[in-house]
A and B are shown apart, each in its own frame.
Chain A
Amino acid sequence: MYEFMDDGGLLLIGVAPKYIEMLRRLPAIAHGDGAERFREPDPMDPQNRSPEARSLRDDWMDLVVPELHEIFDNQHCAVNEVLDKAEPSYFDDWLFHQQKLAKDFAENFDEEMEGDDEDAQPPERTEAVDLIIPPELIEPWYGALNQGRLALHARYGDSEGEFTNSEDSSKSDAWNQARAHYSFYSFLQYPLIHLMQTEFDEKFLGSDESQAEDDDSDDDLPF
């Protein structure tokens, strides 16, 4: 569950521990097999073996790739920065108190009915947390998630994008686990790209359009 914040940030509500673990694993995934797909990109067609292409490739490895690594590693730092500031979920707390109220009510009801409460379960906290991604970390977060998806797809997926399909019992546990990671990262990217697009539109399309929209909405008023 997520909510867009007024300042352009994103609030992730009630993120379960297993998903936090998936996010913590992002750097390991993005440095594993398949990572060369984006960590060491070829600046020219790999089939091009001309001296010029070779020279450009050498320059790319010496000058550009280290810079790319720094960018990508900073994106992981942005994810960890948010994870380190995770707060116990307000939603989880709310759910806990709802369960507690329900239990109290059930106990009182049972007393009145002279019943027993052997089956009643004590409320449990889920240990879920809320994450706040500030506006300046939206893009690094998107990049970090993208790194994870690119590496996972290079390792486990196929060219048709079949990797995004649902769980497959005929595949290995590692494949299914990777697919779960991939799906979760994709899910998180949707609100992030929405915020990035909104920020871009506001910055470069200006307030004229929003003003026009306001004018239109005034025209639509029934009085």
Chain B
Amino acid sequence: MFRVNAMNFSAPSARFPQGARASRPFERYAHLFQRAELSLTPLANMSRIHDLPILSELCMQSIDPLGDPGTAVLEDTRISTEMPWAVVIHDDPVNTIEYVILTIQRLFGYARAKAEHHTMEVHYSGRSLVWNGAKEKAEHYVHQLHAAQLKASLERSGE
């Protein structure tokens, strides 16, 4: 879960002026940050499922590691006041590894390496968080996974 503390953010730095990288000052959304937890769901303007990496990766990309402390650079983001939902695949002794890999590839549009990573995580750890984001989309994915006869569930991210 990506947690944001409003106090840590200030206006965009001169290094990344407004518009150059679609940066947005966090003050604009400061009133939303007063909530205990805030999720960033940078899914806007993503045209294809294939473009959707998991949320944690996007959040990592959206923080500029070289920028001034206290400055965040957001790209194509929208802010939700609700916690995102996670799609979790659970291990089961029947479905084969090949089938789980293929199903993840087909459903989420992930590259084979990433699908293999999640499948191995399911195999060895018993579960893998494969996607998180808006509730409706998460429900859709779990529905599809159930239709593929995989054991999957919805969770609040960070639970």
Contact = CB atoms under 8 A, between A and B. Distances in A.
B147 interface: yes
A71 interface: yes
Size bracket, chain A contacts: 20 to 34
Contact of A68 (B93, B147, B153, B155): B147
A68 B146 contact: yes
Interface string B126-159: 0000000000000100110011110111110000
Interface residues of B, number: 22
A69 B105 CA distance: 24
Contacts of A147: 149
Given A143-B149, A193-B99, A196-B102, A149 B154 contact: no
A197 B102 contact: yes
Nearest to A65: B146
Interface string B86-105: 00000011111011001001
A94 interface: no
A200 interface: yes
Nearest to B152: A41
Contact of B95 (A43, A64, A146): A146
Contacts of A64: 143, 146
Contact of B154 (A43, A193, A196): A43
A70 B98 CA distance: 25
B93 A161 contact: yes
Contacts of B148: 143
Main secondary structure of the interface of A (DSSP, over half): helix
A204 B147 CA distance: 21
B117 interface: no
A42 B150 CA distance: 11
B96 A189 contact: yes
B106 A200 contact: yes
Contacts of A56: 154
B70 to A, nearest CB: 35
Contacts of A178: none
Given A157-B93, A193-B102, A197-B98, A44 B147 contact: no
A45 B98 contact: no
Contacts of B92: 150
Given A146-B94, A150-B94, A193-B98, A45 B149 contact: no
